[in-house]
A and B are shown apart, each in its own frame.
Chain A
């Protein structure tokens, strides 16, 4: 419909305020959506858990993001296909709106930006669950989301990393931990356990109890900082895996002590050291190191920061540049008491870390620790590392 020049209408006077767009002046504290990464080998029971989340009336509105829908075909849901704006023939996103208010989406690009765009379109959720494929290492994914929470992606809802959950098969888990292979010598199941904050040891009703004990002990040895729950058919109270604040600058509960002495060594060639402080579980190179820290001076904290960043970024101890890449830290956590009474929390995944002052009132449940503590999980954590840190803390 073409308008002739004669037909040009008269301008109307408008209140220009009506057209000024609403401006978001920043994200209020606590209003960002928590994101949990869930990993685990195929068959461990991850899908069962996810299916429960999508079907039970738990009252949470959770958006579950998977690479593909897999066996959700039998879930009662309304399918919504959303095609990409750039290429209408390619389906880049697909949604299932579930009866219990949850949402299930599969997207090809599980990068932070794509997920944020998704959330922008679909509205308010209490939580986002990102399911990774069976062999995936959650570390780099966690590090990406932990970095991204610093950025504000336009006017979309912002996401913060809540934690990493791993489902381990109580039947095959031990074998997987012992045998699985990866290019650099650290097995995928070990990487998953090392990078997780909550571990669900699932199908504990099937193997004999002693076997379950051994498997749980092995998991603890690799990752003493994670909470471990024994589950059957993926049944777990959701508040134990969602809303755990695993990356927050908040003091955390007591860490588990490494097992010592109470086991029997079957291997005749057992040449490892049973000294207190060294874990027995040098499974294919992954160990954990826990060190108690006295109250620190401000300058010690600063040197500690330098020590941490050297081992995380340069992969060697500050005093030993000769052997790079022996050290590989997958996860680190710590709480430090500084002489002036302040509390500092260390959080780190892969080479990304932060030592942040604890703000506000300390949660009385966990309380102010009398002493600081540092946990490192990774490869090459031998006595040199422990001694190097002890020298610093003296």
Chain B
């Protein structure tokens, strides 16, 4: 497997980030991967101040604009890099009800319910789920409307955070197991759980906004995500996006009382394969209600041992992560959150929260049809 070259890393590249074989000699010597530029001008414009910290041999390179990659020595699998520092922790007004993990990051209520079967919600509880899912969808759509080359994922996080608290809701990812931000933004080869930072979106990127824009409102969570193109994207990028979308919606068609959670993967995986893509195995869909993540576990790959039969009143997500190419495997950045494809190829994801009704399924987070996903 060999990359022909790496695209120009300059955020101000006037040439559209062409692939280049020209590398910073200092980075090369220090074993820092990926410092490629299309020419000396781009290199100088982003020139580094090398700062070597004491005995622990951490090499931190500050760009002139004050941003840096905190994991300089890490073997990144693609071209996306973290752009630190992260913005300060965002505040949530005191009047907004917080989930149990807002303070210490530990979802105690989830551990307490571990091992129990999926909850069947009463009609009142189902109505609360409808509300929070509708709000989640609103927030996602607002965030999505701001996608354009040049906006940073941190700015998207601010939009999500503010739209959420305006609705008197809590952004579910914030401090969940220590996650530092209010939304996950996953660009290109990032499969999921990308941390919003100062990286500017570039034309040709795809970005998944997981409004896992989950809102903790009235005691319940909503969870959805979509992958969006930034400007014009390549055909294979379009393909992986459409495939992920198709996988999700074909799986939703199977959902009704009596259907088995373990059967969803049997429909998803063939669609991925037929499109030259692979289904991520490490992360699964999940039950969602007063818990952010609970039973059932919903794998997206075929031949799984998932436990459970769908019953009216159950609420859960389906959220297939689809990688371009045949590698379903993944790697994690040293931030212990960002999951990336092992070969640097792009990954796309779509997610909805579903309610099983007496006769079928209701998509609680449903939004408008995305024309760009259909030919």
User: Measuring CB to CB, which residues of chain A are less than 8 angstroms from any residue of chain B?
Assistant: 1-3, 5, 8-17, 19-21, 23-26, 140, 146-147, 150-155, 309, 312-314, 351-354
Cβ contacts under 8 Å, B342 to chain A: 21, 23-24, 155
Bound CA span A261–B313, Å: 51
> Does B273 make an interface contact (CB < 8 A)?
no
Which residues of A sit under 8 angstroms from B260, Cβ to Cβ? 309
Say yes or no: B47 contacts A25, CB within 8 Å: no
Q: Chain B 3-30, CB within 8 Å of chain A: the 1/0 string?
A: 1111000000000000001111110100
Please report the C-alpha to C-alpha distance between residue A313 and residue B1 in the assembled complex, in whole angstroms.
Answer: 45
Chain A CB within 8 A of B52 CB: yes
Contacts of B75 on A, CB cut-off 8 Å? 21
Given contacts A12-B23, A154-B330, contact A20 B1 (CB under 8 A): yes
Q: Which residues of B contact A153 (CB under 8 A)?
A: 282
CB distance from B178 to the nearest CB of A (A): 9
Min Cβ gap B80→A in Å is 14
Pair B327/A11 contact, Cβ less than 8 Å: no
Pairwise interchain contact A1-B52, C-beta atoms closer than 8 A: yes
- Chain B residues proximal to chain A, CB less than 8 Å: 1-6, 21-26, 28, 33-34, 36-37, 39-40, 43-44, 47-52, 75-77, 115, 117, 260, 281-282, 297, 299, 301, 304-305, 307-309, 326-332, 342-344
The reply to whether A152 and B24 contact each other, CB–CB distance below 8 Å, is: no
Contact of B22 among A13, A155, A353 (CB under 8 A): A13
> Which residue of A has the minimal Cβ distance to B44?
A8
Contacts of B2 in A (CB 8 A): 16-17, 20
Which listed residue (A2, A146, A151) contacts B282, Cβ 8 A?
A151
B interface, over-half SS: loop
A8 touches B47 (CB 8 A): yes
Q: List 11 A-B contacts (CB under 8 A).
A: A2-B51, A3-B48, A5-B44, A8-B43, A9-B25, A11-B37, A12-B22, A19-B33, A154-B282, A155-B329, A155-B342
- How many angstroms between the C-alpha atoms of A280 and B155 in the bound complex? 70
Q: Inside 8 A of B305's CB, which chain A residues have their CB?
A: 146-147, 150, 352-354
Given A1-B50, A154-B329, A351-B307, answer yes or no on A11-B43 (Cβ-Cβ < 8 Å): yes
What's the nearest-Cβ distance from chain B to residue A225, in Å? 19
- Kindly state the separation between the CA atoms of A11 and B35 in the bound complex, as whole angstroms: 10
Contact A313 B21 (CB under 8 A): no
> Of B34, B50, B308, B327, which one neighbours A25 at CB under 8 angstroms?
B327
A24 touches B329 (CB 8 A): yes
How far apart are the CA atoms of A14 and B26 in the complex, in Å?
12
CA distance A264 to B47 in the complex (A): 89
Closest A residue, CB atoms, query B48: A3
Given A8-B44, A14-B23, does the pair A155, B331 have CB atoms closer than 8 Å? yes
List the A side residues contacting B117 at CB < 8 Å: 313
Contacts of A8 in B (CB 8 A): 40, 43-44, 47
Would A3 and B49 be within 8 Å (CB), given that A10-B40, A17-B3, A351-B307 are in contact? yes
> Considering the chains assembled together, what is the distance between the CA atoms of A153 and B282 in angstroms?
6
Report if A11-B23 is in contact (Cβ < 8 Å); known contacts: A23-B327, A313-B308. Answer: yes
Closest residue of chain A to B115 (Cβ to Cβ) is A140
User: In the complex the two chains form, is B25's CB within 8 Å of A12's CB?
Assistant: yes
* Cross-chain contact B307 with A313 (CB below 8 angstroms): yes
Evaluate contact between B331 and A14: CB separation under 8 angstroms: no
Which partner residue on chain A sits nearest B5 by CB separation? A16
Query: Across the two chains, which residue of chain A brings its CB closest to B342?
Result: A23
Known: A16-B4, A152-B282. A25 touches B326 (CB 8 A): yes
**A11 near B329 (CB under 8 angstroms)?**
no
Residue from B6, B40, B281 in contact with A16 in the complex, judged by beta carbons closer than 8 Å: B6
Q: Which residues of the other chain, B, contact A23 by a CB distance below 8 angstroms?
A: 1, 327, 342-343
Closest chain A residue to B343 by CB distance?
Answer: A23
Out of B23, B26, B281, name the residue touching A150 (CB < 8 Å). B281
Which of A9, A23, A152, A312 has the most chain B CB atoms closer than 10 A to its own CB? A23
